[in-house]
Amino acid sequence: MTTEVAAPSGYDAFLAAITPTSGLMKTILDPATGGVVGEAPVHSVADLEHAVAAAVAAQPAWAGLGHEGRSAALLRAADAVERSAEDLARLLSREQGKPLNGPNARFEVGSCVAWLRAAATIPLEAETIVDDGQTRAELHYRPIGVVGAIGPWNWPMMITVWQIAPALRMGNSVVVKPSEYTPLSVLALAKVINEELPEGLLSVISGGRDVGERLAGHPAVGKIMFTGSTATGKAIIKSSADTVKRLTLELGGNDAGIVLPDADPKAIAQDLFWGAFINSGQTCAALKRLYVHEDIYDAVCEELGAVAAAAPMGNGLDETSVLGPLQNKQQFDIVNRLVDSAKHSGARILTGGNPPQEQPGYFYPTTLVADIDNDNPLVAEEQFGPALPIIKYSTVNEAVAMANGLDVGLGASVWSSDPAAARKVAARIQAGTVWINKHGAVDPRIPFGGAKQSGYGLEFGVEGLKALGVPQIING
């Protein structure tokens, strides 16, 4: 499961190009093997101040290029990422743990290319609000200035692009603070993108919590984009208050899926599985609570078990792997604790539940848990790993009430052979996005954001571009 796989020489040269030659450094370890991936800089608050100052200086000329000039640069950046895609994917696989194949590392880098191109090409025209012969009012969106982007470790490259691409398109400069777990991936991505951008416009500051706190409260930063836990999001809200920053927060989720009694268990099993286990469950908008009607409960459990058995888990550089390790020990311990609590409560472990002992890597086996109460910690807390609780229900009203029973609402899904019936149920669910017969399928053209304590603000599409600008009315 954890066999070391050698990376090619081209990758070694790529990694060397982002390795610091002096200053404080942090050794980054491969979550699959425990081996050294590389050395990342440990930047300070002073480094952040220099980056913000450079961003302030670079932003006006960038804004002056207009949408056409900025879009052209972003399209060139997308081409540059595409040229370096394999080296980026291999670095991502080693640092984050996700396999090259399946909806994982190569998929993530490909998504970076797609989102850069989408941000560059989605039209954003001035809106005429009133034009009645006496009054004319137009709505425009102007650059904010400097945007701070604070990203997570689960999809470090892709989510960074989700943040920086629309910010740059709208005429802003950006300072990125990556997760301390996955800084190399973001540093490498920024190095490639910066081949096509003016100096100082996009910086990555790879530091600790003190750097993130200063970025969130910095008076020269006009907006913070953050993807991560609800607890950290609340801290950012507090840090940003004195400077009245604009915020886009994509926070924790604990997404529910409801399988209606008319669904075909075999037909939906593959999509159900990947809705839950993409990136080994380490996805904010992954399916984390599955509610199945009692009439088809056993059949759904059986079909999911068959899909799980056919999904190999192993070292990310092994071309046969489609599931990888958890990224860090803290997350491994959370998943292990929650599955153990389910076992002790009397829930039935259909598959998995017993992590390998005395082996390198944070591998937790694909785990399906049946006959579990809705208030069990594995259901009520976000596990963020490869363990799916499957809860039986009797009526749709009961399922909807359970799905809405938590204080989060990022995504949800409804599964049915009747899309019209599924949409009626979807309208009753308190979540920012409700998918029908799929889960977690994001699209750069379609706005995405959370409800309740899963955050606020929209990303993607025209609405995502508008969120990175300051609305201005020209009246007259």
- What pLDDT, on the 0 to 100 scale, is given for residue 58? 98
pLDDT of residue 2: 47
pLDDT score of 452: 97
Please, what is the angle between helix 156-169 and helix 183-193, to 10°?
40
Question: pLDDT value at position 5?
Answer: 57
Phi, psi at residue 129, to the nearest 5°? -90, -45
Instruction: Write down the residue that tokens 């604070």 correspond to.
Output: 150
Q: Give residue 443's pLDDT.
A: 97
Rounded CA-CA distance 227/305 in Å is 31
Beta-sheet strands, E only, within 282-423 = 287-293, 348-351, 367-370, 387-393, 408-409, 411-415
Q: What is the dihedral of CA 221, 115, 159, 448, to 10 degrees?
A: 90
Distances (CA, A) of 348 to 234, 276, 365, 388, 390: 36, 18, 15, 12, 10
Alpha helices in 278-418 (DSSP H): 297-309, 329-345, 377-380, 396-403
CB distance 176 to 203 below 8 Å = yes
Question: CATH 3.40.605.10 region(s) of the chain?
Answer: 9-251+454-475
Can 108 be counted among the known catalytic residues? no
Residue ranges in the chain modelled with pLDDT below 50: 1-2
Homologous superfamily of domain range 255-443? Aldehyde Dehydrogenase; Chain A, domain 2 (3.40.309.10)
Residues 6+ apart with CB under 8 A from 77: 116, 192, 193, 195, 196, 197
Q: Which of 95, 108, 250, 459 is catalytic?
A: 250
In this prediction, what percent of the chain has a pLDDT beyond 90?
93
Fold assignment, 9-251+454-475: Aldehyde Dehydrogenase; Chain A, domain 1 (3.40.605)
State the span(s) of the chain assigned CATH 3.40.309.10: 255-443
Is-catalytic flag, 250?
A: yes
What are 416's two structure tokens?
């049915």
* Active-site residue, selected from the candidate residues 284, 303, 382, 459: 284
